[in-house]
């Protein structure tokens, strides 16, 4: 079932949302200081491309630096990407088939707002450590 949901997701919104994260990551990597944001953006792009069967958990070693980074990310890129998830989620919820995909889009909003200090793990082991 996850495979089918991921394929439908990829066709309807995953490719476009991942493209948004890749563009944000490229812009962040061009500016040398924001390379950590670019890496986080590329990581989220892979998650936005194929989200079913994976989830996000907080990293235990994340500290004040990730909090400060999340504030900077929110101001420059996070709210744009979250707005894209909101618009896409609402558009998907218009149809009955798109409701699970719209809900998944809404679940991606927190990581689009605060990507630093989060880790993407398989859904069957969300409490596993590295």
What are the tens digits of pLDDT across the range 69-89? Answer: 888 888 888 888 899 899 999
pLDDT at 30: 92
> What is the pLDDT at residue 91?
92
Phi (first) and psi of residue 124, to 5 degrees: -75, -10
Model pTM above 0.75: yes
Within the chain, which residues score under 50 in pLDDT? none
In this structure, are residues 105 and 88 in contact, taking their beta carbons and an 8 Å threshold?
Answer: yes
Q: Would you state the pLDDT for residue 97?
A: 86
**Angle (nearest 5°) at CA 30 between 28 and 32:** 80
Q: Say what the pLDDT of residue 22 is.
A: 93
Cβ-contact 45, 122 below 8 angstroms: no
Q: What is the pLDDT of residue 77?
A: 82
The whole-number pLDDT of residue 126 equals 60
């Amino acid at each position: 079932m996850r495979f089918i949901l991921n394929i439908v997701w990829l066709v309807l919104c995953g490719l476009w949302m991942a493209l948004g994260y890749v563009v944000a990551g490229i812009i962040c990597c061009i500016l040398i200081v924001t390379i950590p944001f670019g890496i986080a953006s590329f990581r989220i792009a892979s998650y936005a491309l194929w989200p079913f069967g994976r989830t996000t958990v907080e990293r235990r070693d994340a500290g004040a630096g990730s909090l400060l980074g999340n504030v900077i990310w929110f101001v420059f890129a996070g709210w744009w990407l979250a707005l894209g998830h909101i618009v896409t989620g609402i558009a998907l919820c218009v149809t009955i088939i798109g409701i699970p995909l719209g809900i998944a889009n809404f679940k991606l909003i927190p990581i689009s707002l605060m990507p630093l200090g989060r880790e993407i793990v398989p859904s069957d082991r969300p409490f596993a450590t590295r």
